[in-house]
Amino acid sequence: MVGFYQEVRGVYLFPAAFREIGGTKWGYINAKGKVVLPPIYDQAEDYQDNGLAIVHLMDKSGIINEQGYFIVKPKYDTIQSFSEGRSIVNDREGNKVIDESGKVITDRAYTVINPEYIQGRVEAAETDEQGNYRYGYLNKRGKIVIPLIYESTSEFTEGRAVVKTLKGQYQLIDLTGKVLQTYPYAWVGNYGQGLLSFKKSNDGKYGYIDIQGNIVMEPKFTTAERFVDSRAVVSIDGDQRDLYGLIKPDGTYIIKPHYNGIVYLGENRFAIGKELDPKQACIRSIFAVADHEGHLLTGFIFREIGHFQDGLASVSDDQFTYFIDTLGNRVVHLPQVSGGGWLSFDKTLIKGEIDQRLIYFSQTNELIWEQASIFPLTKQLAILEQKYRPNFDYLIYYPEIKGMTNSAQVNEKLMEMAGVKPVPSIPLEYSYTGDFEITFFMKDLLVLEITGYEYPFCSAYGMPIKKYAHINLRTGKFYQLKDLFKAGSPYVKAISDLIEEQIKSNDEYSYLFPNEYHGIQSAQPFFISETGLNIFFHPYDIASFSAGFPTFMISFHELKEWIDVNGEFWRTFRS
């Protein structure tokens, strides 16, 4: 993975995550690690250079200022980061543009608005009566400055953008929409430094033309990226995969096409990717750093490389994350952290996102703040967060209970549920990440949510995993669904019928597969919460993969006829 983002900020507050009973909450700390804005948000993003931050509450997004006051209340489905003083927001009406006061400046919602303003323009689209998208551009006042009359558009670069007309012609336009050139080719790509990639036929290869449409490089590439700093990344057909190289504007190779990938890192540096396993190129790449002339400055040792800024880039190898300079040398006076991820300068601090956990350092390498790994339940009981990372592609955080009898047996089962198992140190054919939350704790009952995601390399997507452990903290017993109900009671049919009623009466469940719900199983996945019994289904059980884990809440009152109120399970959390 390649990518690194650093920004200049005007507010000296930093997002921080705190695990609590009921889930993880986010707040903000200052440069000394002291909590300034309490952890009340479901998610909190960085403060931007305008002194505003996007936060999330109850599946909605809002914007706060440095005092924590809402400039925009949590009412939007999504809010994009500000660019050129504008942000794109989305609600049930569609996409709109707001200014830094939170005021909507578009006079209507659009089907699509691209996330970022560039050179005072943002791409927008509406659908016509036939459902076809029609693209154009908005200015910073939220008004249409270039009509929505195109089949496709692209972002502006150097005041120019490539558009495709409804007649299928590709044109180069300026910021006012004036047509600078029309091209007679089947496809024309984004403009960059006076050159554009193109194809003579839709199923043909890529070459380059100049602004006038003259062919500068005949089509011979399987991909051809925009020219930046007088270099462009291209690829050719290889043995069952594309091979990437780097060219000059005259078409000569700086780096011959032998590699699994090449990414421009800024400051005349490139990440050169080589496959870990030549037989399965899509599994993983390992990277080296090269200069503008194609000279390798490092060996192929990096799993992740960020973009260079002010002469520094964040990198991760098999063991550590740290900064390198433009010669590829580790910067020894800056942090080196065990694990994979990113380091970035965040005004007065260095922010680390390492193995899916936050950490902050001073710029003199002093640890300022890190996420807690101990979560007290009572004076005697606590949950410890343990990490298992035997391989770069295998990372699990799992819970360990301290202070209870039978803890060894309980913790062994929790490790098994979390996926802790022998894993070789060599590259795997899949990646796995696992985590947990403390979702419920009352009297003697502890409920832990254990999640995971397994992704087989070369697949379109992986499979999410969700399990719940209901533990009696006195006895160490793990409860099943049947333990909540009277022996011999028809709880399966009762719950099945109640869920069926919810499906029929609530449009919220319109995403379910038609006629695929046939009731629950006796060992149906479930979890207890303050509001009642929650029944859930795995992906594909009754809905598509994108639906996640369809969940149905049933109040205890609705189940009172069948609940064993004198049973051990019920009495662990209710009197």
Is 6's pLDDT higher than 70?
no
More confident call, 144 vs 427: 144
Is 4's pLDDT higher than 90?
no
Residue 151: its pLDDT value, please?
97
Is 462's pLDDT higher than 50?
yes
Cα–Cα separations (whole angstroms), residue 257 to 219, 243, 289, 294: 15, 5, 16, 12
Is 558's pLDDT higher than 50?
yes
Is 575's pLDDT higher than 90?
no
- pLDDT single digits (tens) 533-548: 999 999 999 999 999 9
Cα–Cα separations (whole angstroms), residue 365 to 328, 341, 359, 368, 470: 20, 17, 12, 9, 42
Residue 528: its pLDDT value, please?
97
> In a 10 Å sphere around its CB, with 0-12 CB exposed, 13-18 middle and 19+ buried, how is residue 196 labelled?
buried
pLDDT mean over 309-329: 97
Q: In terms of Cα–Cα distance, which of 466, 539, 542 is closest to 511?
A: 542
Q: What is the mean pLDDT of the chain?
A: 94
Is 283's pLDDT higher than 80?
no
Judged by average pLDDT, the poorest of 1-10, 135-144, 423-432 is: 1-10
Residue 459: its pLDDT value, please?
85
Q: In terms of Cα–Cα distance, which of 446, 150, 32, 342 is closest to 13?
A: 32
- Nearest-angstrom CA–CA distance, 555 and 531: 6
pLDDT mean over 437-456: 97
Is 350's pLDDT higher than 70?
yes
Enter the tokens of residue 222. 């399987």
- pLDDT single digits (tens) 352-378: 999 999 999 999 999 999 999 999 999
How would you classify the pairing of strands 53-57 and 285-291? unpaired
- What is the DSSP code string of 117-161? -BTTBEEEEEE-TTS-EEEEEE-TTS-EEEEEEEEE----BTTBE
pLDDT mean over 242-250: 96
Its pTM stands at: 0.91
Is 72's pLDDT higher than 90?
yes
pLDDT mean over 148-174: 97
Residue 7: its pLDDT value, please?
42
Task: Determine what percent of the chain is predicted with pLDDT higher than 90.
Answer: 90
Task: Determine what percent of the chain is predicted with pLDDT higher than 70.
Answer: 97
pLDDT mean over 442-447: 97
Residue 1: its pLDDT value, please?
47
Q: In terms of Cα–Cα distance, which of 146, 155, 76 is closest to 115?
A: 155
Give every strand in the sheet of 94-98, ordered side by side: 78-79, 87-91, 94-98
- In the block, tokens 């200049």 appear at 8
- pLDDT single digits (tens) 383-435: 999 999 999 999 999 999 999 988 999 999 999 999 999 998 888 889 999 99
Is 9's pLDDT higher than 80?
no
Check if the beta carbon of residue 231 is closer than 8 Å to that of residue 254. yes
Check if the beta carbon of residue 469 is closer than 8 Å to that of residue 460. no
Is 136's pLDDT higher than 50?
yes
Is 63's pLDDT higher than 50?
yes
pLDDT mean over 326-351: 96
Check if the beta carbon of residue 14 is closer than 8 Å to that of residue 346. yes
More confident call, 504 vs 239: 504
Q: Is 507 strand, coil or helix?
A: helix
pLDDT mean over 246-272: 96
How would you classify the pairing of strands 382-391 and 374-376? antiparallel
Burial track 451-473 (b if 16+ CB lie within 10 A, e otherwise): bbebbebeeeebeebbebbbbbb
Residue 561: its pLDDT value, please?
96
Residue 281: its pLDDT value, please?
56
Question: Confidence class of residue 246 from pLDDT cuts 50, 70 and 90?
Answer: very high
Residue 280: its pLDDT value, please?
65
DSSP state of 226: P
Is 109's pLDDT higher than 50?
yes
First and final CA of the chain: distance in angstroms?
Answer: 52
